Structure 1
Amino acid sequence: MPRLILFNKPHGVLCQFTDRGTAGSQRPTLSQFIDVPGIYPAGRLDLDSEGLLLLTDDGRLQARIADPKFKMPKTYLVQVEGDVAEKSLDRLRTGVRLKDGMTRPAKVERIDDFNLWPRDPPVRYRKSVPDCWLSLTIREGKNRQVRRMTAAVGHPTLRLVRWSVGDWAIDDVAPGEWREIDIP
């Protein structure tokens, strides 16, 4: 039976088991959190992003999760700079032009009342610049897409947390923790 692990990746952790960066690099990797042989990430999260990372030992499942042709929805909680107006949300909902082409329409809404763990290091706070949170769902995976989309509508991303991929979510998985789940 294939294995599937839901990992809540903390900010600053590489989405690989070894750091192939510059000599002497000391960046944290998946191996500091997960000691399960034969599993690999299904998709990636940037070093400065956090949240759900799925890992599996099944190549077909890995492809179904990561390959954009399957259009699996990925939902992010996004803290952005500024007070986002409906006009900006509508642009995200219809697709945004990026340097590498148009994005597919996103499902997006403002969110106000929710609790999220603190980030280490904390997001910079400026009294003179408001921020707000969005729930944003996409069905593609261009490089740093969510960050580029919010910047394109005038609201740079301050914090990015992937909350779910398809039906899998990190509702009850703390940062740095993982849980193995049964695959139907």
Structure 2
Amino acid sequence: MCVWGANDSAFPDLRNPQGRMPVPRLILLNKPYGVLPQFTDDQGRPTLAELVPVKGVYAAGRLDRDSEGLLALSDDGPLIARIAAPASKMPKTYWVQVEGVPTDEALEALRRGVTLKDGPTLPAEVRRMEEPDPLWPRDPPVRYRAAIPTSWIALTLREGRNRQVRRMTAAVGFPTLRLIRWSIGDWTLDGLAPGQWREVPQPPATPSSRQKSSGQKSTGQKLTGQKLTGPKAPAPTGKRGPIKPRRTVAPRSAPSRPRNR
């Protein structure tokens, strides 16, 4: 497994001379606090370009500037859709530091779903947790108030609205102080310091996997923690590559009239 930091320049380039990608690329980044989830910014704020010097990849979904943690990037549109599209309902788990100590009633409300300005949320998975260990310091640090304790919860969502976690915890009376996305599906932050990223090997894209991305039925591959796995159905190969099925043409009952040119 290769782990790359913000200052590494000798990153692997899998492009062929024609600039085409033989396989989709999937990069997992631990996005630091204060970094925009995009590669350009006309205001000069920190962006992904300072951390991931790889051309042609885009963030699969968002992770706000004031949030931290796992962000997936890819150059493959269908793969990005499978990760980020609301219809895919891929679970995303967040470590959330909140102000106060959530009550059982508050946690149960999150599990059932709370009503926000843009409608009710889907049921969520939530549990209390100890402060993550080890946990890197945040710059700037979370505000400290001696009279009000803080605590941590793990919250898993299967949808992605704008600032949803923060709005949900505020709706039950416990504002979010720090937000770290720990996992997307089975991929996690494990082994990644802030600003570091690793590339997850992917198999070549197939018609079946693209059908699945667009919502069509398929027996193709599914997402797992380290790579795409699933039923293998390789096409027969010849000297010049995969053999394409022959087209069958129905016999004509009568010759067609030539067209005027």
**3-state SS of paired residue (1:148):** helix
Alpha-carbon distance, 1:117 to partner: 1.1
Matching residue of 1:11: 33
Larger radius of gyration between Structure 1 and Structure 2: 2
Which sections of structure 2, spanning at least 5 residues, go unmatched?
1-22, 203-227, 229-261
Which sections of structure 1, spanning at least 5 residues, go unmatched?
none
Matching residue of 2:95: 77
Q: Taking structure 1 as the reference length, what is the TM-score of the superposition? A: 0.96
Compared CA separation, residues 164 and 144, structure 1 to 2 (3 A): same
Q: Hey, what's the Cα distance between the residues in 1 that align with 2:140 and 2:115?
A: 31
Q: Which has the higher contact order (CA 8 A, sep 6+)?
A: 1
Amino acid at match of 2:91: P
Write the deviation string for residues 112-144 of structure 1: whole angstroms up to 9, x where unpaired.
153111111110011001110000000001110
Write the deviation string for residues 69-102 of structure 1: whole angstroms up to 9, x where unpaired.
0000000000000111111000000000001100
Matching residue of 2:150: 131
Q: Is the 8 A contact 2:131 2:151 kept in 1?
A: no
Aligned counterpart for 2:169 among listed residues 133, 137, 150:
150
Amino acid at match of 2:159: E
Aligned residues: 180
Moved over 3 A (4+): none
Aligned counterpart for 1:90 among listed residues 108, 126, 130:
108
Amino acid at match of 1:89: L
Amino acid at match of 2:172: V
Amino acid at match of 1:126: R
Matching residue of 1:165: 184
Q: Hey, what's the Cα distance between the residues in 2 that align with 1:91 and 1:151?
A: 12
Matching residue of 2:136: 117
Aligned counterpart for 1:104 among listed residues 122, 142, 157:
122
**3-state SS of paired residue (1:48):** coil
RMSD: 0.8
Aligned counterpart for 1:180 among listed residues 193, 199, 215:
199
Q: Hey, what's the Cα distance between the residues in 1 that align with 2:57 and 2:131?
A: 36
Q: Taking structure 2 as the reference length, what is the TM-score of the superposition? A: 0.68
Identity of aligned residues (%): 64
Amino acid at match of 1:18: T
